[in-house]
Amino acid sequence: GALAVYRISLTPWGKDITNGRHMDSPFVTPAEISANPLTLPNAKDILFATRLDSPFLASQNEFYNNQPGNANYYSLISSYSHSIESTPPTIRKQIVDIVMKDARKEKGRFLLQNAHGDWEVLLDKEVVPYIKRSLVAESSPLMKVMDQEMRFLLSECKHGRHRKSAMFRTHAPANLSKLESKLFGLDLPVKQRKVAQLLRPRLFILDAQVLRSLSSSSSSS
């Protein structure tokens, strides 16, 4: 009996009981409040959830994929993702716009689950990184596995046993963000200024101090 209790005390669950952490919430209350409007999702919305990314949840990680809006969204993604990495940037931009437009044909919104568990309405410019990541993740089985594993790691940083440490709060998420941008970042064409605007002459106005110095030097000469 004593040996069994000792072995249990060495498990993560036993250590949490010993340290008085077994009743701690896995969700750390964030200090910042989002500026995006909050809403309640409906069947037509596309949901980007953040609280179901853990290996022990198994098939529950795909829970929101059964949402009608998500099912339509991922159907669009799968139809355009096969050769996305070899597609020219201009065509990539058009694909992202098509996916966003078609996903909203049924008046669906793109919603993100924030740290409080509420659903935020995303703007168009905020939706683009999620569409790009979805396209790359669905482009090959390897990238899909990488996408899921990175979600697991980020979830561990947010809700794991060491979520209150500096490493899990700051450094690990920052490194995951850099890796994510390298793996799933698609280059899109950047809107450049026209040549006529670049060559347009600009009026250069001297400030008062420079004018006084020039006038004094001219008078002395």
**pLDDT computed for residue 205 by the predictor:** 47
- pLDDT tens for the chain, 221 residues long, are 788 887 878 887 777 777 776 666 666 666 666 678 899 999 999 999 888 888 877 777 788 888 899 999 999 999 988 878 788 888 888 999 999 999 888 788 999 998 888 899 999 999 999 999 999 999 989 999 999 999 999 988 888 878 878 898 889 999 998 988 888 877 766 555 554 454 455 444 445 554 565 566 655 55
**pLDDT computed for residue 1 by the predictor:** 73
**pLDDT computed for residue 42 by the predictor:** 92
Instruction: Give the span between the Cα atoms of 156 and 100, in whole angstroms.
Output: 30
Instruction: Give the span between the Cα atoms of 24 and 40, in whole angstroms.
Output: 27
Strand partners, 39: 119
**pLDDT computed for residue 180 by the predictor:** 87
Q: Tokens 């600009």, residue? A: 202
- Please classify residue 90 by burial: count the beta carbons closer than 10 Å to its beta carbon, then call 0-12 exposed, 13-18 middle and 19+ buried: exposed
Instruction: Give the span between the Cα atoms of 135 and 138, in whole angstroms.
Output: 5
Instruction: Give the span between the Cα atoms of 127 and 144, in whole angstroms.
Output: 19
Q: Where are the alpha helices (DSSP H) in 81-171?
A: 89-103, 124-137, 141-159, 166
Please state, for a pLDDT cut of 70, what percent of the chain lies above it. 78
- Show Cβ contacts of residue 102 under 8 Å, excluding neighbours closer than 6 positions: 76
**pLDDT computed for residue 198 by the predictor:** 47
Strand partners, 194: none
**pLDDT computed for residue 18 by the predictor:** 78
